[in-house]
Chains A and B, each alone.
Chain A
Amino acid sequence: MRHALSTRLWHWINALAVVVLFMSGLTISNAHRRLYWGHSGFSPEEAWLHVMRFPGWATLPMFRYDLAEARDWHNTAAWLFALGLLAYWIVILVNGHFRRDVAAGPRAYAPGAIWGTIRGYLTGENRRTEKVDYNPLQRIAYAFVLGVFLPGMVLTGLAMSPGIEPAAPWLVEFFGGRQSARSIHFLFAFALLGFLVVHVAMVFVAGPVKTLGGMIVARPGKENAHG
């Protein structure tokens, strides 16, 4: 599959931002390793989850605890992440990429369509056929990542900022309070990590040279539907 310049550009900018955000986010999680629901919470009894301490190799900065620097990384990469996502959404709505290739209509959720895709993965049939289109599972995954999880990270992030709340108190209410927004931010981050693991695994299953190449360069030759 080949991708438009806008998709290739955003994909890698976003990948960079997500890695920085995730790793610095682990440092921020280490600063207070409990999650709560509602507006407030600080004691162990109030917590719904006691979070593990993330090891030094997974955090940013690495192998040392520096909350101030982690927050700088996080709040800086957040601009790249949020503005990149906004720009990409505008582009794919305008150029039809979302409607044509990503939007998962009711048919994508049909048990037959999903089962057929799974069977295709298990038998290897999906790999043998030259793909011209995203399969139902890909559409569902990409639609949820683009439509729910990535924007959800931006919105829950904003909802945690005491300087944003006076301007948009409804945003914090929507998530059920600041500590709920923080919990959802954490859960969505790990949902995105789950996506990333499957995504990268699929790149290797499908052939990393072909798939990575398609996400990096526009190969000369005949255009296809995703050109």
Chain B
Amino acid sequence: MAEIGRRHLLAGLAALGAGACSRIGESESATSIFDSAESWHREAQRALAGRQRLAPEFEPSDISLTFRGNGSLTVDTADYRAELSKGFPNWRLTVTGLVDKPLSLSLEALRALPQRKQITRHDCVEGWSAIGEWTGVPLSSLLDAALVRPEANFIVFRCADTLYGRRYYESVDMIDAYHPQTIVAHQLNGENLPEKNGAPLRMRIERQLGYKHAKYLTGIEAVASLDNVGEGKGGFWEDVADYQWYAGI
């Protein structure tokens, strides 16, 4: 009895080591265990933080000296460079999909709307953090202006930049879409957004990691399901490298 117990245990521990894990990690059952564990994190975090609790906001003295750019650092087209040099006079942000009143807004129109200013910490999935002051329009006010229909469950962010030959995009559920700190930012530290940080517009999704904060934003789309968006996983990194859609951990 004792010997059998020990042998089983040692065999189990041995299987744990080595390549076994790598193979387990790619199997379907492991993926579904991973997805369950990750969705428990989402449920637990949502239960603890609710819809409205804010990410911490910092003092001006906490602002990072420079704000690191990561992922796409520009949009590699002649159109973008021309717009960048002229201050984006022709850039439009559209609000489409499951809305009764689609919008197409210039930067000037966005700047004329009520603004929110927040000094927040940006946490990259890689591990680093930077603090910056963001100014922008709360996404909730754009969604309200566009009259989002009740059947919309997700908001998709369309971007101008491409990585590995694919268009970047991201998405959040309606809880994060309507969160007070979720803004379409056009300024960083009181200046127009720098090119590497997503000029002229980027999302701030302050309760999630950096890859959710879509840059070079061109469109906001209300959808019922993410199945037919991109490859169906809700974002560029989710599609390309299987990062989790919920990035609160």
Q: What residues of chain A have their CB less than 8 Å away from a CB belonging to chain B? A: 12, 15-16, 19-20, 23, 28-29, 31-32, 34, 36, 39-43, 60-64, 66-69, 71-73, 75-76, 79, 160-169, 172, 178-179, 182, 212-213, 216-217, 219
Choose the segment among B17-25, B99-107, B221-229 that binds chain A (4+ C-beta atoms closer than 8 Å): B17-25
Chain A nearest CB from B105 CB (Å) reads 28
Minimal Cβ-Cβ distance residue in A for B52:
A166
Interface size of B in residues (CB-CB distance below 8 Å): 58
Q: Tell me whether B243 and A76 are in contact (CB under 8 A).
A: no
Minimal Cβ-Cβ distance residue in A for B34:
A72
Q: Tell me whether B126 and A32 are in contact (CB under 8 A).
A: yes
Q: Tell me whether B1 and A217 are in contact (CB under 8 A).
A: yes
Write the B31-55 contact mask toward A (1 if CB under 8 angstroms, else 0): 0011001101110011011100111
Minimal Cβ-Cβ distance residue in A for B53:
A166
Contacts of B128 in A (CB 8 A): 32, 34, 36, 40-42, 179
Contacts of B55 in A (CB 8 A): 162, 165-166
Minimal Cβ-Cβ distance residue in B for A38:
B62
Interface residue? B127 (CB, 8 A): yes
In the bound complex, what is the Cα–Cα distance between A172 and B207 (angstroms)?
14
Tally of A-B residue pairs with Cβ under 8 A?
156
Q: Tell me whether A42 and B64 are in contact (CB under 8 A).
A: yes
**A31-B126, A216-B5 known; A166 and B34 CB under 8 Å?**
no
Interface residue? B209 (CB, 8 A): yes
Q: Tell me whether B249 and A163 are in contact (CB under 8 A).
A: yes
Minimal Cβ-Cβ distance residue in B for A24:
B21
Minimal Cβ-Cβ distance residue in B for A57:
B18
Chain A nearest CB from B208 CB (Å) reads 6
Contacts of B48 in A (CB 8 A): 164, 167-168
Q: Tell me whether B25 and A69 are in contact (CB under 8 A).
A: yes
Chain A nearest CB from B81 CB (Å) reads 27
Write the B106-127 contact mask toward A (1 if CB under 8 angstroms, else 0): 0000000000000001011111
Which of B5, B9, B41, B123 is in CB contact (< 8 Å) with A178?
A: B123
Q: Tell me whether A31 and B127 are in contact (CB under 8 A).
A: yes
Q: Tell me whether B129 and A42 are in contact (CB under 8 A).
A: yes
16 more A-B residue pairs beyond the given contacts A23-B21, A71-B125, A71-B244, with a C-beta to C-beta distance below 8 A: A31-B127, A40-B64, A40-B128, A68-B241, A72-B34, A73-B21, A75-B38, A75-B244, A161-B45, A162-B123, A163-B248, A164-B45, A166-B56, A213-B6, A216-B9, A219-B2
